[in-house]
Amino acid sequence: MRFGWVLLLFALPLAGQHSLRKLPFPVNTDFYNEICPVFSNDEKTMFFTRVGSPDFNKTLIVDEKDLFSVLTLEAYYDKLSTIFGQIAGRNVPDPVHTGYNQDIHVAIVDRDTLRRAYHPGYPLNNALPNSICTPTPESNTFIVINQFESRGGMREGFSRVVLDDNFESTFPERIQIDEFDRNAHEVNLTMAPDGGFIILAMAREVDQPKDLYLCERLEDKHYSKPLPLWRVNTVWDEATPFISKDGQRLFFASDRPGGNGGKDIYYCDRQNTSAYQWKEAICLKPPVNTTFNEAHPCVFRDGDRIYFTSDRDGNSDIFTARLNRARDFQKIKINIEAIKEDGTKFPAEISWGTAEEGADIEWLGYFRSRDGRHSVYIEKNQPFYMVAENRGIRTELKMIEPQDLIDQGIHEITIQLTMKPKGKITTASMVTMTNEESVLPANLRPGVTTVLHNLYFEQASAVLKTESLPEIKKLAQALLRNPGLGIVIEGHTDNVGDKTDLLNLSRNRAETIRYLLLREGVAENRVSTKGYGDTQPVSDNSTEEKRQKNRRVEIRIKEVTDK
């Protein structure tokens, strides 16, 4: 019985940014690693690999018997430890929480929104390492790592599977690669859109850097000897390749010098018609690459939407972003309102500006408003910043991402800048307020209610956007410093949509905030939720500005019970 490969998992040691989004649960989890996003040819189904989860498919065929069915649980895990030890060349005492425990998962994507998720069964998944590498030109046909025996066992290599509409899989069929080095470790590959060649990433020896190799198709499931891509490879690591849908651009991950730090995603274009000749590699800019590790790029046929893996939040997770900003767009009108914590407007000096990713803010305008109101236009597709000041007290620095508004078809929006007295700033520098307790009302007594600002959800969804997380952390820290204090999180919507859907949306959004507070260490008995849908508006819904006021999350102070 031979055992094969494991898909490479990078486990080496943001202000709001252009269209960056971390995929929500059930794709990403807090405790496990999610890697290797791969899309079907119609770009509606995403396959990904979850690592180290106890909810793996436990089918383990040896000599035509499923050991999970015939062994005791203890004996089963002992056997799995032995098998993983053979793959790793070392002792693997915990076969569950290990990088060799890899299962394929599926998510259905509708208009860039995750709708449903599946965990396919055997034979696509089993107790051994499983991962989809690339689609093929044939419908519902994919390449997976490793080669499997119907009687049991696994060996190094790749296989082809065909999936039906229910993600039931044919048994993996072996792919032959001539003169293939069976000592290779940590592998992945991508297939050209016409199937004419594959680009393979592998290391010849354990703990050696990986390189990219090209194999040309000789016949069905048969490819030529791997030849290195000399102009792409360096003495550093090159891995997780992806070929664009037109076959003209190669993406990959590398830790070569000149990047942002860790592993970064690069791309290079074809030099000519030869699949062996590629131009100089270019490192992608933020928000894709960071000082952490980014890998497993998957780019849509429009050359804009990218999915990738990053460990910037600790575990490896799957993110998506836009590679390009819209150049031609209608100006976006921003109605700025400077308000106190009780919602009343006040005189303020309002400043605004823009900044490219990673650059300092270029302040473009200033207006002294008697009523705290002013309107400006976003004319460049760059992050747009606003701040208001009154007698040395400033609001938080608010950032708007124009591309997100463009994507949603929004051409006018009202933004409220909240003045928080405890956040007094005496210097002239424009900084974000650091008074974390200011997210709570000043009069802390049961029954007091306040609107929780700076929360942004995905449209018609309970998924909280990344830029909202600092506000959640502030609220959690304020609660942790006031152990006798509890809150009720109350969700509200406007009146656009089905009443039942609106009620459920308001409840789910409140539950999302509660979940995040509990994750920050706030005790369960201190946080409860209510959803009111559109039943408690603070304004009529006759205009978008008034509907926006109704779309809110409120927190109401309560007494803490012992239960």
Q: Is the pLDDT of residue 198 over 80?
A: yes
Instruction: Taking the CA atoms of 380, 385, 389 and 395 in sequence, report the sign of the dihedral they define.
Output: positive
Kindly report, residue by residue over 34-75, the tens digit of the pLDDT: 999 999 999 999 999 999 999 999 999 999 999 999 999 999
Rounded CA separation 502/491 (Å): 10
Kindly report, residue by residue over 291-339, the tens digit of the pLDDT: 899 999 999 999 989 999 999 988 899 999 888 877 777 899 999 999 8
Q: Is the pLDDT of residue 201 over 90?
A: yes
Q: Is the pLDDT of residue 466 over 70?
A: no
Kindly report, residue by residue over 394-451, the tens digit of the pLDDT: 888 888 888 878 877 888 999 999 877 544 332 222 222 233 345 665 555 666 777 7
**8 Å CB contact between 416 and 396:** no
**8 Å CB contact between 33 and 52:** yes
The whole-number pLDDT of residue 10 equals 31
The whole-number pLDDT of residue 197 equals 97
Rounded CA separation 125/161 (Å): 11
Q: Length of the chain in residues, anyone?
A: 563
338 Cβ partners below 8 Å, 6+ apart? 345, 346, 348, 350, 369, 372, 373, 388, 390, 395, 416, 417, 419
Taking alpha carbons only, the member of 130, 216, 213, 210 closest to residue 172 is: 130
Kindly report, residue by residue over 132-141, the tens digit of the pLDDT: 999 999 999 9
Rounded CA separation 12/311 (Å): 9
Q: Which two tokens stand for residue 413?
A: 């929006």
DSSP code, position 345: B
| Higher per-residue pLDDT: 549 or 249 | 249
**Maximum average pLDDT range among 186-200, 355-369, 499-513, 538-552:** 186-200
Categorize the per-residue pLDDT at 457 as very low, low, confident or very high, splitting at 50, 70 and 90.
confident
Count of beta carbons in the 10 Å neighbourhood of residue 425: 17
Instruction: Taking the CA atoms of 452, 456, 461 and 466 in sequence, report the sign of the dihedral they define.
Output: negative
Rounded CA separation 8/207 (Å): 12
The whole-number pLDDT of residue 434 equals 31
Rounded CA separation 470/484 (Å): 23
Rounded CA separation 315/293 (Å): 11
Q: What is the 3-state secondary structure (H, E, C) of 41-95?
A: CCCCEEEEEEECCCCCCCCCEECCEEHHHHCCHHHHHHHHHHHHHHHHCCCCCCC
524 Cβ partners below 8 Å, 6+ apart? 518
% residues pLDDT > 90 (the chain): 47
Place of tokens 């605004």: 352
Mean pLDDT for 182-208 is: 85
Count of beta carbons in the 10 Å neighbourhood of residue 138: 12
Place of tokens 């102009």: 231
**Backbone phi and psi for residue 166, each to the nearest 5 degrees, phi listed first:** -100, 10
